[in-house]
Amino acid sequence: MSETVQDKVDFLVIANRLPVDRKVDDDGNVSWQSSPGGLVTALEPVMQRKGGAWIGWHGAPDEVVDPFHHDGYDIHPVPLSAQEVEEYYEGFSNATLWPLYHDCVVEPVFHREWWDAYQKVNKRFAEQAAEQAAEGATVWVQDYQLTLVPMYLRQMRPDLRIGFFLHIPFPPIELYSRLPWREELVEGLLGADLVGFQTPGAAANFLRLAKRRPGVTTSRGKAHTRDGRDVIVRDFPISIDSRGFHELATSEKVQAEADKLREDLGNPETIIFGVDRLDYTKGLRQRIRAVGELFKEGKLDPDEVVFLQLATPSRERVEEYKILRDDINLLVGQINSKVGTIARRALVYRNKSVPRDVLAAMYQVADLMLVTPVRDGMNLVAKEYIACRSNDDSALVLSEFAGAARELKQAYMVNPYDIDGMKATIMQALTDSPKVKARKMRSMRRQVFDKTIDVWADDFLTELEGR
Ligand code: GDG
């Protein structure tokens, strides 16, 4: 395959961010390295096979970066100004749509200037794709930052096959209807041939809204548009590179890392673990409160049990995230001042990201995994734990409000708003017999190793290209 950027391609992915991170060495030489996300792992082989291109922002404002060839496919960086990052990304995407789509767990903020920027940037992404796509190409648009792209792209290039996948929940009509631009976003998605969601419930919520558009009718899993097209609407639950995670977690390097980690934590009998982006949708306040109370009440003994919580910094310039960070720091401080000792803390809280092998080691040592979002599209952490942890004497506590709860039915299910219920379930997960836990783990492992990220990508593209 050629090493130069192609003029036109048959397969394009459009996402807010590129799948590569820039590295600058000591001599100032610039190189780009694949960012190790699930989406990249799933789509790289597809793009290499089809000769594809990825369109997205490279992460630095006010800078134009020329397209380049990377690892078998083309990269087309889309420039964003500092003001656009503030208004389109931090504003409309992360302070309007993100909370609105997560059941308004914090109040969504509506600003007309943010909406203007959102439209402008979505148009730019669509224009870039229209330029790069060969006749009849397949274009796969990712996530809530780019909801208008299918509509713009169809106006520019009706010959394309356009798919859209939403990684986050899609809210019920009663909440969605607050959005001043609710019609426009529904029209945006109806520009696609296929709209995928994480769960059937999200797909049903969208179909209910589509049906309200003038001239649009719906029938099982389809919206029929004014211009006579059928838009398929259904769920495609996303997954992970299960084998890749398992191999990493059982490698010698990670085993050594796991031994070191256990030692660093003071070789406790039981390790409880949580890992999330520091986001208010992840239920951290409730989770930390529940575990803190169990320590305070003496149900968990700090001489035997450690709760390790990793919270990866996220969206730090958005107001609600600053508030959350301060709240959690305070809560952790309060708990640790009452239980445990300075030498041995009950709650080990780390507010920084770790390399993937360290994360795999954390999954490996975790006897109990807590995944308790108040709302989550899927939640990959739950699946990663199942793929990495090889000991059968393990348990996953999972919120019923995560998309993953539909598939990981054998998890210990909780309602994160019910702190007493969550405490009781955590204790049950810790004290159930090894036989019960082993049965649950085996069943969830089957699920996670059967339905991998490749299956997800294949399902979506087969449906899209079969049209
Ligand atoms: C959105 C939706 C949906 C976290 N800390 C570190 C680290 N991570 C990795 C995890 C996992 C990923 O980040 C988080 O994925 P989630 O699915 O849990 O959550 P979101 O970021 O909110 O993702 C979600 C997902 O899209 C996919 O469609 O499931 O519902 O909200 O992979 O492992 N990775 C490393 N170090 C860390 O410190 N290396």
Using one digit for the tens of pLDDT, what is the confidence trace for 271-302?
999 999 999 999 999 999 999 999 999 999 99
Q: What is the pLDDT of residues 344-399, one digit of tens each?
A: 899 999 999 999 999 999 999 999 999 999 999 999 999 999 999 989 999 999 99
pLDDT reported for residue 209: 97
Residue 161 has pLDDT above 80, yes or no: yes
Q: What's the gap in Å between 184 CA and the centre of ligand 1? A: 29
Question: Is pLDDT of 414 > 50?
Answer: yes
**Does residue 13 carry a pLDDT above 80?**
yes
Give me the pLDDT at residue 1, please: 46
Q: Please count the other Cβ atoms lying within 10 Å of the Cβ belonging to residue 313.
A: 12
Higher local confidence (pLDDT), 390 or 432: 432
For a ligand 1 pocket test, name from 144, 380, 384 the mutation site with the most ligand atoms within 8 angstroms of its C-beta.
Answer: 380
Average the pLDDT over each of 25-34, 35-44, 187-196 and give the range with the smallest value: 35-44
pLDDT at site 38:
66
Q: Which of 379, 399, 407, 456 to mutate to test the pocket of ligand 1 (most atoms within 8 A of CB)?
A: 379
DSSP 303: T
Q: How far apart are CA 99 and CA 319, in angstroms?
A: 12
- Does 413 score more than 60 pLDDT? yes
Residue 51 has pLDDT above 80, yes or no: yes
DSSP 77: E
Alpha-carbon distances, residue 45 vs 39, 50, 224, 383 (angstroms): 11, 9, 33, 22
Average pLDDT of 308-314? 94
Q: What percent of the chain is predicted at pLDDT more than 90?
A: 88
Whether ligand 1 lies within 6 angstroms of the CB of 238 is answered as yes
Q: Say yes or no: CB of residue 312 within 6 Å of ligand 1.
A: yes
The whole-chain average pLDDT of the chain stands at 95
Express each pLDDT in 73-88 by its tens digit: 999 999 999 999 999 9
Query: Which residue pairs, CB below 8 angstroms and at least 24 apart, start in 323-327?
Result: 324/278, 324/279, 324/280, 324/284, 324/285, 325/278, 325/351, 327/285
Look up residue 100 and give its two tokens.
């609105």
pLDDT tens digits, 128-158: 999 999 999 999 999 999 999 999 999 999 9
With a 6 A CB cut-off, is 376 part of the ligand 1 pocket?
yes
Tell me the pLDDT band of 36, cut-offs 50, 70 and 90. Answer: low
* pLDDT for residue 2: 54
Contact 281, 337 (CB under 8 A): no
Closest CA to 31 of 15, 40, 20, 39: 20
Residue 380 Cβ inside 6 Å of ligand 1? The answer reads: yes
> Which atom of ligand 1 is the closest one to the Cα of 381?
18
C-alpha 301 – ligand 1 centre gap (Å): 30
Q: How far is the CA of 276 from the centre of ligand 1 (A)?
A: 7
- Positions marked active-site: 167, 376
DSSP 8-state assignment for residue 145 = G
- Residue 16 in contact with ligand 1 by CB distance below 6 A: no
Mean pLDDT across 441-459: 95
Retrieve residue 205's tokens: 């919520």
Q: Report the pLDDT value the prediction gives residue 254, as an integer from 0 to 100.
A: 97
Q: What is the mean pLDDT of residues 187-214?
A: 97
Q: How far is the CA of 381 from the centre of ligand 1 (A)?
A: 6
Test site for ligand 1: of 141, 277, 362, most ligand atoms within 8 A of the Cβ = 277
